[in-house]
Structure 1
C-alpha cells in the first residue's frame, strides 16, 4: 500500500515521541511504499543513520516553516505549540504541490489533539489520526500538589484543553478521520463524540525489548529499592512520592528511594528531603548516563510512576521490560500500560489520599518478594506482546489491511 506518515518528531536513537516516529517509520517501510514527512532539522541524523541500514527504508520529505519562525523558536519567543501549527500549515502546502496519491494518510507525531493535521483536508485516501493524547487533565483536588504558581499554571492548562476540544478545526478533522487511535481514556472521553469513523486505544510510545536485559535480584539482602526516573517537575508527582515514602519509612527500615533526573523542582526536592527523618534513605542522583541508568534499573526492585499528567510514559515500559513491578495512579496512559498482574494501580483522589495510597502500595510490595518477582515477569511479557516496536508495527499493519480490504472491489 502507498502510505503517507506525518511525523514531526522522528529521530534515530531517541525515546518518547522521537522514537515513535523513527521506529514506526522503519517498521512500516518493510511492508509498504512509505513516505514520511518530518522536520528538516531531523534530516542530518536520519540520513546518517540510514547509511548503515540495509533494510527497506522510507522516502523522507523534510519540511520546516519559514526562517523567521525558526529564529523565533530558537530565541524562545515562539512557543512549540505555535511552531507546530506553522509546521502543519507548511506540510499541507508542501503536499498540495507534491505528486502522488496515497491509500492512507496517517498523522503519527506529535500526539497532541490541539493542533490537527491540516493535510487531512487536502489529500485523498483513508485518514488515521493517532495514537493521540493530550486530553488528560489534573483534577482540582490534586492541583495543590504542584505548589503555588505551579497549581495556577496547571489550572490554566486544564482550561486550555477544554477550550481546545471545541476548536472547529479539530472537530472537523476528527469527523474526517477513518480511524482515531486514542492513547488514553481521558482523551477519548473528551473527543470521542466527534468521531464518525472507528476508534480504538493504542499507547503512543514503545520500546525495543531486545535492548533491555533484566538481571536476577539478589536474595541475600532484604533491602528493597524503589526507583523514580523522569523530569523533576510538578506534573510528574515526585513531591507526592517523597511524602509517600516518608510515611512508608515510618513502618520499615529496609527500603530506599532513588530519584533519577533533573528539572525545575530539583532544589525544592533537596530541601524537602533534607527536612525528613528518612533523608538518609532518599537518594537524588541528578541526571545519569545511559549506562548508569541501566545500573539503576538493575539495582531497583520496584518502579514508582506517580505522574499526575502524562499521555503515557516510556519509562514505565522500560521498567516493565527490566522486570520491575510498577506503582502508579490508575489513570491516563499508565492505567492501560500497567495491568493488575504487573503492578499496583492506586486511586489518586485528593493530595492526602494520593500520598496514603502510594505509601500503602510501597508497603505492600516491600513486604512481598514473591509478588514483586511475579509482577516483574508478567510486565516484561506484557511489553513483549503489546508495546515492543515489532508488536506495535504489526498492529498498525492490521489497521492498514482493513482499509485495503474495504477498498478492494468485490
Structure 2
C-alpha cells in the first residue's frame, strides 16, 4: 500500500528539550518512518534537529518572531521559567497564529497542487489554540488532523494554596478561552481530533455528536527504546530481606507531592523496609531535607538533586517502585519512563498518570485532600513493602504493557490507521484504542 503523504506541523519539535518539544520531535520522527512525511517547525528548533541527525530534507524551519516575544513576556509575568505554566500557555497561544500563517504562505502552492494527502498538527498540545489552517484546508478538501491535545485539568479540592504558590492565578479565568475567535470553527472544520486525556475529551467534545464522531482518545506520551534500551530487558528480581527501593522523580514543588510521599512512607522508612531516592530539584528541597531530619529518616532517604535526562535511567533502574503523588499532571510521561524500566507505579487517580496504568500494572490511589492522599499512599506502600514480590510482578507487567503499546513506533502505527480512515472519508470514532487504556477507560470517555 502506498504510504500517505503527510504534512506534519509541530512548531515545538526539539530533541534537546523535554515535555511538549520532545513529544513534537519524537512523534514526528516516528511518523516519518511509517508515512511519506514532511515536518514544518519553528526556526528555533533547526540547529537541534540537525545536530540530532534529522535529515535536512525531512523538515522546513519557519521563523516566528512572535514566539520569542511571547516567551519573554511570559517569563516576566511568571517570575521565571518554572512557575505559572498557564501564563506560558496563554502567551504561546497568542503568538502561534503567525506561525500557521507563515506555514500557509510557504506550503500553499504544494497543498493546492494536491501534494499532501493529510495535514497533521501535533503541537501545540493545548486545547485552547485555534488553527488558521483549518478553514483553508477544508476548502481544499485536504483532511486536517489535530492532536494529541491535552491540558486544562482542574486543580483538585484542597490545594488552593499550592495553586497560588505555583502562580496559577490565570487558571481561575481559564474558561474564557472558549470565546477565542476561531476556536469553535477550528474544531468544526477539523477532520479529526486526537484527545489525550479523559478530561480533555469531555472538555473538547462537550457531548456534541458531531465532535465525538471525529474524536479519538490516545495519550500523547511514549518511549523511545533507543533512549531506554532496558525496555527489552527483564528487571532484576528483588533480593530477599532487602529494603524495597522506591523512587520519586520530578520538580520539587508542592503539587508534585514529594512531601506527601515522605509522610506516607515514614513508618516503613524508619523500620528499614523501604529506601527512597528523590530525584529532582526545586524550591521545596530545603523543606524536604528538613522533614527528613526531623523524622529521623536520613539513613533511608537520599536526594539526587537535578539529574540530566540522559542519566535519569540509571537512578530509576535501581528502584522497584515509582511513587508519584502529583495532584495535577496532564500527560505523565515520567510514569511511562519508570514503567519501561520495570518499576511498579503508584500514582493518583487524577489526570494523565492514572490513565497510563492498567489494572495489575501498578497501584492507582484515589484522589482526595492532602490527608486522604497521604493515607492512600501509606496503605499502598505498606502492601508493597510487605510483599515485594507483588511489586516485582506489577513492574514486569507494566514494562510489557509499555513495550507493546507505548513506544513511539507503536503510536505512529496507531496514527497511521487514523490517516488511512481520513483519506478514505471514514469516521475516526470507529478507531478504538481501549486496549492501551486502563480497563474500562474508553467506555468512560466515548468512542
Structure 1 and Structure 2 fold alike (TM over 0.5): yes
Work out the number of aligned pairs and report it: 397
> What is aligned with 1:228?
248
Cα distance, 1:90–1:61 mapped onto 2, change above 3 Å: farther
Cα distance, 1:273–1:169 mapped onto 2, change above 3 Å: farther
Per-residue CA shift, 1:195-245, capped at 9, x if unaligned?
624211111111123533154135254211110011112332222222222
How far is 1:396 from its partner?
0.6
The 5 A counterparts of 1:6-405 are 6-12=9-15, 14-50=17-53, 59-66=58-65, 70=68, 73-74=71-72, 76-77=75-76, 80-81=88-89, 83-98=91-106, 99-101=109-111, 102-123=116-137, 124=140, 125-144=142-161, 146=162, 149-150=164-165, 153-154=167-168, 156-193=169-206, 196=211, 197-210=213-226, 211-213=228-230, 214=233, 215-249=235-269, 252-290=271-309, 292-405=311-424
Q: Retained in 2: the 8 A contact 1:165–1:191?
A: no
Q: Secondary structure at the match of 2:121?
A: strand
**d(CA) in 2 for partners of 1:26, 1:226:** 33
Give the TM-score taking structure 1 as reference length: 0.88
**d(CA) in 2 for partners of 1:71, 1:191:** 29
How far is 1:281 from its partner?
2.2
How far is 1:262 from its partner?
0.9
Q: Retained in 1: the 8 A contact 2:67–2:96?
A: no
RMSD between aligned residues = 2.5
Per-residue CA shift, 1:347-381, capped at 9, x if unaligned?
01111101100111111111112211211111111
Q: Retained in 1: the 8 A contact 2:277–2:303?
A: yes
Q: Retained in 2: the 8 A contact 1:113–1:170?
A: no
Give the TM-score taking structure 2 as reference length: 0.81
> What is aligned with 2:439?
none
Cα distance, 1:63–1:372 mapped onto 2, change above 3 Å: same
Q: Retained in 1: the 8 A contact 2:11–2:124?
A: yes
How far is 1:253 from its partner?
2.7
Per-residue CA shift, 1:89-118, capped at 9, x if unaligned?
222221332322233222212311122333
Q: Secondary structure at the match of 2:424?
A: helix
**d(CA) in 2 for partners of 1:70, 1:271:** 39
Q: Retained in 1: the 8 A contact 2:62–2:103?
A: no
Higher mean Cα deviation, 81-90 or 389-398? 81-90
Q: Secondary structure at the match of 2:193?
A: strand
**d(CA) in 2 for partners of 1:294, 1:18:** 20
Per-residue CA shift, 1:227-276, capped at 9, x if unaligned?
001111233222222222225546x4321221100122222322333322
Unpaired runs of at least 5, structure 1 = none
